């Protein structure tokens, strides 16, 4: 007999092709099973097997659906139970805590059983964490080891998402309007504070707005200074930066005047009344106050419409300037008949005498206050302690008992 191949009949799916048999004609022997398969002998039995297998798979799918449904129901009940427990905890804590304290404790309760990557923070929690990190980054890192707090990376991304550009910020104005809407009229009286600082010169590209940043306001020159406008409450303790502008070199008084008028007018539109303008004693600010605004000792204000806006130099700079003038020149106080010279050597004599005493009259006074090292003259604390009440009382006491010369 010749060798031939018998192809199996396709009675069932591809996975059962293993049943395929080859019939060999050598030696007159033929595979009976292969021959019967070719003739379709097993077709009814295979069909029954397929039906049973299909029923078994359907039964397994039904069981799986029941198990999943039961697990979801159990999980839902667990979550509902957990929500009820959290609500009960909040009710109990509200008897003792309120406001930010209650919200912080509840945030810890909610985040206690979540992994760090599964925690989600709302805007209020991010703002609270930002204030903590701004106060002290080192302390914030320590607190994160004890409490569940947002990561510094998340807070940096949050800050980067805030769009603040040079000029008047409309979002801040709208937030101030909403925040101060319920205040009393006396609480809406504010001061406008301006300050200038030196910045690094350079250009950067903002792809969101498709603009080049780093150019001075009103010109095409590179900016190396920035002036900031901040509003601060007089009767209530709050403050908020309002706008900033870039300039090439210190901004002149003539350039600052329209910006100040614009800030006052924009604050008027949201219900805030500017009664005080505060700045330092830089030469450009003195030009602004004396020349552009016409402020003098006899007339310490300028008019905005019919309202008086008083001008003050900020106290920290005044303290440092008084200390520096006292050290360099000294003062003469009193009337023409009884003039008294106030000199730096009086403070030096008091310090030398006070250091030798076991109980000091001015224990905070150190050699750094007397012989001021470079850059230490910028420290407001050193100037304030030199001009403090304890130093004045100590000098008066030692002068009265003839421990140091003077009267």
The reported pTM is: 0.67
Which of 313, 347, 370 marks a domain boundary?
A: 313
Q: Clarify whether residues 202 and 303 are in a common domain.
A: yes
Q: Clarify whether residues 174 and 307 are in a common domain.
A: yes
Residue 368 counted as domain residue: yes
Q: Clarify whether residues 233 and 181 are in a common domain.
A: yes
Mean confidence (pLDDT) of the chain: 83
Residues 6+ apart with CB under 8 A from 43: 9, 11
What percent of the chain has a predicted confidence (pLDDT) above 90? Answer: 49
Collapsed DSSP state (helix, strand, coil) of residue 310:
strand
Q: Clarify whether residues 214 and 288 are in a common domain.
A: yes
Length of the chain: 407
Q: Clarify whether residues 152 and 191 are in a common domain.
A: no
The confidence score (pLDDT) of residue 254 equals 94
| Per-residue pLDDT tens over the stretch 276-294 | 999 999 999 999 999 999 9
Separation in Å, CA 177 to CA 124, 183, 271:
19, 10, 7
Which of 139, 161, 183 marks a domain boundary?
A: 161
CA distance 323 to 369: 10
User: What sign results for the dihedral spanned by CA atoms 93, 94, 97, 100?
Assistant: positive
Which of 313, 342, 375 marks a domain boundary?
A: 313
Q: Clarify whether residues 124 and 246 are in a common domain.
A: no
The answer on pLDDT for 307 being more than 90 is yes
The confidence score (pLDDT) of residue 117 equals 82
The confidence score (pLDDT) of residue 5 equals 43
Residue 82 counted as domain residue: no
Higher pLDDT, 113 or 122: 122
Residue 52 counted as domain residue: no
Residue 17 counted as domain residue: no
- Domain range for residue 132? 100-161
CA distance 282 to 236: 28
Burial class (CB in 10 A: 0-12, 13-18, 19+), 24: middle
Contact call for residues 237 and 201 (beta carbons, < 8 A): no
Q: Looking at 93-107, 209-223, 329-343, which range is the least confident one?
A: 93-107
Q: Clarify whether residues 227 and 348 are in a common domain.
A: no
Residue 256 counted as domain residue: yes
Q: Looking at 18-22, 184-188, 320-324, 390-394, which range is the least confident one?
A: 18-22
Angle at the Cα of 170 from the Cα atoms of 168 and 171, rounded to 5 degrees? 125
Q: Clarify whether residues 173 and 210 are in a common domain.
A: yes
| Per-residue pLDDT tens over the stretch 350-383 | 999 999 999 999 999 999 999 999 889 899 999 9
- Overall average pLDDT of the 87-92 stretch: 79
Q: Indicate the pLDDT class of residue 65, thresholds 50, 70 and 90.
A: low
Residue 370 counted as domain residue: yes
Q: Clarify whether residues 289 and 264 are in a common domain.
A: yes
Q: Clarify whether residues 245 and 278 are in a common domain.
A: yes
Residue 9 counted as domain residue: no
The kind and range of the H/E element at 213 are strand 211-213
Q: Clarify whether residues 295 and 196 are in a common domain.
A: yes
Euclidean distance between the first and final Cα of the chain, in Å? 143
Q: Clarify whether residues 344 and 392 are in a common domain.
A: yes
**Based on the structure, what is the number of domains in the chain?**
3
Residue 294 counted as domain residue: yes
């Amino acid at each position: 007999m010749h060798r031939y191949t018998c192809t199996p009949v396709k009675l069932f799916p591809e996975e059962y092709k293993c049943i395929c048999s080859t019939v060999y004609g050598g030696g007159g022997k033929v595979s009976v099973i292969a021959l019967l398969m070719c003739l379709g002998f097993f077709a009814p039995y295979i069909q029954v097997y397929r039906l049973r297998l299909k029923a078994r798979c359907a039964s397994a799918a039904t069981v799986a659906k029941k198990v999943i449904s039961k697990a979801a129901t159990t999980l839902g009940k667990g979550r509902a139970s957990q929500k009820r427990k959290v609500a009960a905890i909040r009710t109990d804590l509200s008897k003792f805590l309120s406001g930010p304290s209650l919200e912080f404790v509840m945030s810890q309760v909610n985040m206690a059983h979540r992994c760090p990557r599964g925690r989600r923070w709302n805007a209020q929690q991010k703002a609270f964490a930002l204030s903590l990190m701004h106060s002290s980054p080192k302390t914030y890192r320590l607190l994160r080891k004890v409490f569940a707090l947002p990561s510094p990376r998340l807070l940096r991304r949050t800050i980067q998402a805030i769009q603040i550009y040079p000029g008047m910020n409309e979002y801040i104005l709208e937030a101030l309007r909403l925040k101060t809407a319920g205040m009393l009229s006396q609480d809406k009286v504010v001061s406008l504070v301006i300050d200038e600082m030196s910045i690094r010169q350079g250009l950067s590209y903002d792809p969101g707005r498709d603009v080049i940043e780093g150019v001075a306001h009103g010109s095409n020159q590179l900016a190396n200074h920035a002036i900031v406008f901040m509003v601060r409450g007089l009767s209530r303790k709050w403050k908020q930066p309002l706008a900033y502008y870039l300039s090439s070199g210190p901004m002149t008084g003539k350039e600052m005047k329209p910006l100040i008028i614009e800030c006052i007018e924009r604050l008027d539109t949201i219900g805030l009344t500017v009664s005080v303008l505060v700045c330092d004693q830089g030469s450009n600010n003195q030009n602004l106050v004396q020349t552009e605004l016409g402020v003098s000792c006899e007339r310490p204000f300028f008019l905005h419409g019919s309202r008086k806006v008083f001008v003050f130099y900020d106290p920290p700079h005044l303290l440092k300037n008084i200390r520096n003038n006292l050290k360099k020149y000294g003062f003469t106080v009193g009337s023409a008949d009884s003039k008294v010279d106030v000199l730096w050597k009086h403070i030096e004599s008091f310090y030398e005498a006070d250091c030798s005493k076991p109980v000091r009259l001015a224990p905070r006074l150190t050699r750094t206050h007397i012989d001021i090292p470079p850059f230490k003259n910028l420290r407001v604390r050193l100037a304030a302690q030199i001009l403090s009440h304890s130093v004045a009382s100590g000098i008066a006491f030692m002068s009265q008992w003839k421990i140091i010369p003077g009267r």
